[in-house]
Chains A and B, each alone.
Chain A
């Protein structure tokens, strides 16, 4: 069957695949024909992800990417890759007056520094084939949607987005494309665990979405698959916003 978005024959690494957008992306990539390597910090959750994958040849690696050593240990376990979904991230809501070095360090380490260090290690070890595609999960919080108390998360994603463009420019010669997806609020544990917002706050926020609902992880996964596939072979350094029209407001 004709399918320009197929991932048949590709090997894709997905970080943060123990839940949410990462897990769903792993499942959808496997359905699109890819062999996937899923990573995360929790082994039990990764085993659950593995059980949901279609086809054969998949693998999981438990790792903590928040240190350079963690990144190196992961890369040592990898086959040569045709794609990477740099997706692992944490959410954090704090009003500006309550920021602390510890919280900034934790959030930036996971959301911003880890993807940069992982990329460095993958490129140095020549684990990305030519051509290959890297997709970063960023956020409209780092792009256009400034919501109260979301500044640490938003700036960590903004920095990641800026980095994506530098990586796209500098790695183009090696055939490595880099792009970012910018989801609006998606129904995952990352937002469900947010105790600060009341149900009422959430309904008011949802009303700000022209399509009148939050997204589903599959709706982000399909965009990631497009960027991983050969259909996007001339796309690099791009930001793809998937937000039910939230940025229109």
Chain B
């Protein structure tokens, strides 16, 4: 799994976001457009792209894109 691709996949869930501004350190809950629906979409994207199952509660505990990436990587 590659971080750049993960960030792209993450950004794809937003209506309007500049992927160049996203880094592993980005605290995604503060991003414009973040919502509970985007959270559901990110979980579903992770299901589909990485075949990794994460729960709403696990999602809730992640704050940065890097943390989320590590969670997915730990389940691969």
Residues of A within 8 A of B (CB): 93-95, 97-98, 148-149, 195-201
Contacts and interface: CB of A to CB of B under 8 A. Distances in A.
Interface of B: 36-37, 40-41, 43-45, 48, 53, 55-57, 59-60
A198 B56 CA distance: 4
Given A98-B44, A98-B48, A197 B56 contact: yes
A201 B44 CA distance: 16
15 contacts: A93-B40, A95-B41, A95-B44, A97-B41, A98-B41, A148-B36, A148-B37, A148-B40, A149-B37, A196-B43, A198-B55, A198-B56, A198-B57, A198-B59, A200-B60
B53 A195 contact: yes
Nearest to B48: A98
Contacts of B56: 195-199, 201
Contacts of A198: 55-57, 59-60
Contacts, number: 37
A81 B40 CA distance: 43
A45 to B, nearest CB: 24
Contacts of A94: 44
Nearest to B60: A198
Contacts of B45: 98
Contacts of A195: 53, 55-56
Contacts of B44: 94-95, 98, 149, 196
Contacts of A98: 41, 44-45, 48
Contacts of A197: 56
B5 to A, nearest CB: 18
A95 B37 CA distance: 8
A201 B35 CA distance: 11
Given A94-B44, A98-B44, A200-B60, 20 more contacts: A93-B40, A95-B37, A95-B41, A95-B44, A148-B36, A148-B37, A148-B40, A149-B37, A149-B41, A196-B43, A196-B44, A196-B55, A196-B56, A197-B56, A198-B55, A198-B57, A198-B59, A199-B57, A201-B36, A201-B56
